[in-house]
Amino acid sequence: KSINMDMNILPNEVLCIIFSCLDEKSIQSASKVCKLWFDLIRSDLKLSSHVCLVNDGLKEFQTKLENSEWIWERWPVLRSLELRSFLHPDVLEATRLVKLINFKHCETLEKVEFNVTFNLMEFWQNHHSFVYIKKLTFNPQVEMNSFGLEHASSMDLRLYDLNKDKICKALELIGDKAKCLQNLSIFIGESYSGENLRGVVDVLIKCGFSSLFKALNCTLESIYFRNSTEDNYYLDYDLLKLLSEYCKNLTEIVVKSDINFYRFPSSIGRFQYLKNLTVPKLCYVESFAQNYDTITYLCVDKIDMIKLKKYDLRAMCQNFKELRKCCFQVRVNAVNNPGHYGSICYEWPKIIDETFQEWHEVKFIFKVKTETYFEAETVIVTKLPYQKSVIDQETQGTFGPLS
């Protein structure tokens, strides 16, 4: 039975508790209901202290200010503003736009973050050509004439050459200067593969990355690591081990690797706040055993079907006590038997339902390699919380004779 009730009889504190249970889109809708709700939402630190404008950059935000589409007075508790436009200005253009926008009109604003294209080679041509800043963060209440490493909140490191002294010096400088760095991506090129280069890698680990991670121990929250060295899987282990020693505040780790090994060292240590984990192979999973009770999202993106069938998924689910969502990308080799792969994929809804808990959200993406049925390249099996697993209808339509 439905109950009609006047929401205005509820105390403001109760309304704020109700609003706190809404998602971002629903909060926006609720703020348009009436002036009371608008004022409550915009004056609540939990609801309106951070705003992310997904489609706006500095230029678009300036236009909104000029057209009165954004009025500072309507955000009395705003502390953090994030601009996430896909159009990234260079650092000179960003500096010009920031000077045009008077952020000081919002007295509560403490942090502004925006995307940017910033290659440090433009300023330090002797080195740092492999350092690319993706996001800058600054305090609008502090006078600023230019941007530098101290404003970087997201950064790419692309290591393709072998000048270990240059790289170690740059990594040490980044650790010393980049005190706002939260997100770091590291790309290791194929130049570092081969047993004869092990000494170079050791120097980078001991003298470069060790000092970098130690300096970022309080700020670094997310790391993306891509290793293109096919025969040097110890590089993955060494970096992860360093991170567990120095960067214990990490909440997200993404490891992409082209290694061909199917074994990995047993343990890399504990990250006390780790929630999201992406690894290239199943052999990495057990290395994070000390985080079985913290990880809520798990992705394994390079699984061979033969290895998957031998892996104990049920035990994995039991180990990850807080797991809520997971994704597996599986490679199916059907070159020699193309008519058989459909039945292989179709058996997985039942396996998933019997293996995972009711509250788990699961996605299996089967990448099928076949020379006969070119359209049937991907099969996706999904399971939503408290529902049965299904094969996506869009994918199912590509099966042709397999149906």
| Predicted pLDDT of residue 190 | 65
Can you name the residues that pair with 223 across neighbouring β-strands?
A: 184, 253
C-alpha–C-alpha distance, residues 360 and 316, integer Å: 13
CB burial of residue 267 (10 Å; 0-12, 13-18, 19+):
middle
**First-to-final CA distance of the chain:** 45
CB burial of residue 359 (10 Å; 0-12, 13-18, 19+):
exposed
Fill in the amino acid letter for 374.
F
> Where does residue 204 fall: left (phi above 0), alpha (psi -120 to 50 degrees), or beta otherwise?
alpha
Fill in the amino acid letter for 353.
D
| Predicted pLDDT of residue 90 | 85
Distances (CA, A) of 265 to 57, 191, 223: 43, 24, 20
Q: What is the mean pLDDT of each run of 10 residues along the chain (403 residues)?
A: 67 85 86 88 90 91 92 93 88 88 90 86 58 90 84 88 78 89 86 62 85 92 84 76 90 85 76 94 90 95 86 92 94 64 75 93 85 66 93 52 32
Sign of CA dihedral 272, 284, 219, 325: negative
| Predicted pLDDT of residue 149 | 86
98, two tokens: 């920031």
306, two tokens: 């033969």
| Predicted pLDDT of residue 386 | 93
Dihedral, 38, 41, 43, 48 alpha carbons, nearest 10: -120
